[in-house]
Structure 1
Amino acid sequence: MVKRGIALLILLVVAGILKAEVRSWVVSNPVVAGETFQFTVEAENAETGAQPNLSVLRGFEVVSRSVQNSTTIVNTQVTHAVRWIFTLVPHAAGEFTIPAIPVGSEQTQPFVLKVVSPGSQPSGAPSPVELETQLSRESVYPGEELRYTVRIIRSVEAENESLSPVEQFNAQVERSEPQTQIEMVAGRKAKVTTLHYLIYPQQSGTLKLPSLRYQGEVQVGRSRDPFQNLRMFNRNTKRIYRQTPERTVTVKSLPAGQSGWWLPARQVQLARVWKPNPPQFRVGEPTTVELVIHAEGVLPSQLPALELVVPAGIRAYPDTPTSMKTLVKSGFRSEWKQSWALIPVRAGRFVLPELRLRWWDTQHERFREAVLPEQVYEAIPSAASQAQATRMDLTSAPASRLPTPVASPFWKWLAFASFGLWGLTLGWWGWSKRRKESPEEPETEASTANLRKASRKLLSACKANDDTKTRSILLEWERLRHPQEYLQNLEDVVRLDPVLQKPVDELLQVRYGTSPQAWEGASLRSAIEQLAKVPNPTNVKPPKPMLEPLVPS
């Protein structure tokens, strides 16, 4: 009889343990969109390892979860309870059905949860954080600047804030620095942070701007005692979430008549900048010209590279192009520029032709052209050439004609006699000279030694990649090779020895370019060694005249 009683007691205990019950609830109903609330699921005597399946829950984001376990025994009734506490956030207002949540083989009862918009609570209190968005245009062309503005409005202090980025795979996105200031919003002071996203679509079609998600922590349950609010302990905060609506932008096809470089902008201007200004062109001396593009509503990567058409008689040495961008109130303002060192090789008139750049005016939706007009300049001879020309004019000027006195007959006869004797002497000298074999004129050893010495110095400078020393020695070396020529600069060197054209251009590019770059002297060294195999023009004897000179040297 006793054994039967014990067995019955054990059955009752086991039956109490196996009895399962699952339920769910929220702390408050309604809840506010974008603000967290707690959703609790509790299971008593559930199957071992059973977990709530929240995949059936739509319209809510699970922010965090925690688990609590408890076991109670009342009058031999053993209850093992597991409580799952989920922190959820709704992203939209409306009525939502919390469905039956499965927990093992059991499930909760569904119920309706109302979600209200921020600021529409029955208490009438303003939302602590609001988001506003604005688009500059609903439709744009590929590459056109689209301005997307986001404003974060806070009526309370917030901390630990973050905002998801604007990510696009078919558009380039640039974000400005956030600007925060105090503004009056709906009659209340609010802290407003403004961010500008500048978006440049890359292809035609539909551009979708995804929702931006904001999250932050605000203090709740603030005391009316201002001193208590300053204390750093016992702070009660809650995490809130906000989300902007998804936006759609139409990206139109390129307009009819588009060909070549596509440049959509609000404004485009071209400029020539001279250094010095106004330019002064002199043969052999550099003058710098800079071509500049100023454009609004585009990025530097959208600007084309301008080409300088170099007229005949001018050598151009380009510098590395540069670009930059500046954020202004209306968007980005970009600039592209490149400079060239222009060196005239001969005096005379030359023309820089007109330069045009076609672009699309995004404000008036029409093609326009930015124009640099044609410019005419005069290159004057070098100062040394002018001085040499002056000396030649002075030496070749005819002697002044002076009145010649009338000679007396005696002096006439004396002159005739003198000419006769001079003629006899000249004839005798010519006869004796033909009888002798005239020796060849020896090569000037001093000039040859100087040329060899200059060659060694020049090759050594090229091997050391010393552009400054090479320029100086190269001119000295060529003057020794061509003593009969007047060589003022390296342009004259190239004129006499065209094989040096390319290596000299490389040498001058390093000299006149503003961007630092190393010079390699291998190509110039090779050209010099090639010229060294050619006989020195200073050692080539002039052809022997057929007639002897009238006056012996």
Structure 2
Amino acid sequence: MVTMLSGLKRNGRPRPVPWIVLLAALWLCAPVRADVTVTLDRDRIVEGETVTLVVQTNDPQQSLDPNLAELQEDFVVLDRRTETQMSIVNGRQSAVMKLLLTLEPKRAGSLTIPPLRFGNVATPARTLQVDPAPEPEPGALPPVFIDVELDPAEGPHYVHAQLRLTVRVHYLPNLAEAAITPPEPSPASVRLLDEVPYQAERGGVRYRVLERHYAVFPERSGPLEIPAMRLTGRLVERRSDQLWQPAVKGRRIQASSEPLQLDILPRPDTYVGDSWQPARALEASQNISSSETLSVGEPVTRTVIIDAIGLEENMIPEPGQPDIPGARIYPDQPQGITRDDGKWVLGHKEFRYAIVPENPGELVLPELTVHWWDTVNDRQAEAVLPEVRLEVLPSTLPTAATPAAPSAASAPAGPALPGAVNVSSGRNYWVGLSALFALLWLVTLGLYLRRPRPAGRPDSTASEPAGDEKALLDRLQRACRADDAAQARQVLGQWLRRYGPGRYRGSIRALAGELEGQATGGGARDTHPELGAELVRLDAAGFQPAGVAGGAPGWDGAALWNGFSKWRAEQLRPERTMRDPMDLYGAGGQARV
């Protein structure tokens, strides 16, 4: 009953193999189920547009080579490529493998991405809504045109409330040397959020589309105009009967978007609150560092956290901490960060207050109310933090006691004997010394809580793994080696938005202008005219991948990579002065498409 198998014979008898050894061997031989996920970059498209299907796994041994026969019943697979991202966290190496499929629907309607099988693993099905393509108007469509869309479209539009501006540039593959002016509403600030390239069919013609999302913040009430954005470029037209054409320039073209006229409303008279906070959503929460009890002189920290959609962190004011009877309040330097989800800005801010009770009893941290304006429902809204009650115990530190005056009866009748010790004087000495130490401790605590915090301390939640930046740089280097201008331009734009100085706003044109010495705030160390010229050439050539007719021949990716590597190495030198992280709006000028 103890054994099932026998090993080698010993002294003429079989050696028993325990059950636990057999089970361990079977467990080690069992296949490990890989985690494979499937996502779509968009859930709703128009007939003629393309969509990217991303298959991802964290198992480097998992093969990403599915059978696409069922998928090809409703979709045409236009492109197929793989990516591998390596990262090391706490000394442990991990890998993420991706399979990216560019799909074009064959018909309109609700289409299903069927389950894809990878060995013993099958992915769940996904649904894609394909709307019918709009009927083209009479007449041929131009080779380049620009669409703009505003959200909210009808309003109301309030001062300081974010407007989402979407710009779609449709262009034919033979467009080169193109540049488009960025949106320049006044008075308003603009921030580039995201950039998505894809393909779409309009009027039976396949276009390449560059879609950009901007955040626009009106600075004053009254009329606001978003001027027309203008694109200039050159259409390269090659004759099919000539194989080698060294000097094909093409013809210049121009395209403009429709200007937008808006009426920006002021802060409503019915708004309740000291500070105007228009947002799509706002949440407030709090953290208390102490438990339900503490002692006199022991600080407790109250952290108020505000998260808002449609507000930058510098637009979130301090909620205000009212005075607390019997306690001292020491506010800390607020910490905040602004992110975005590609369409809306996400403001996050934390306010910390160190509260030191002075008396035993009950300490009440009062209720806090954050007033804001709901721009989605156009109404007043509040976020309320409840009050917190804490029990304060007497201090455990020794306190100085006043010694009782000696009575006449207790006075010594004669001189003290030699060697006698005054016990009362020694006790008073130690009590006074303990009180002095307690006072010094409280003074030190107050100075510590009031010390200035470094304003430039990075937020740990905002940091991204170093492997993400390395993966982007590796992709940029590969694109430069292959002289693929379109891929290099896209990857460089992603790097600028995530890791580049904030004043460039992800704009290659702004970086090129400063490196060429055109920026007013740049120093001699920021001037790299050769790299600036290469960036301008990359912007002009970025409409066309290498090796496709109509591209910009002669673009040298090696020159760009060498110049960019040297410039980035200088940025990482320890002696370089750090820029202001809030400098989001750098040098102006045209933004290259």
Given the two structures, how large is their TM-score scaled by the length of structure 1? 0.48
Looking at secondary structure, tell me which structure has more helix per residue.
1
Of structures 1 and 2, the larger Rg is shown by 1
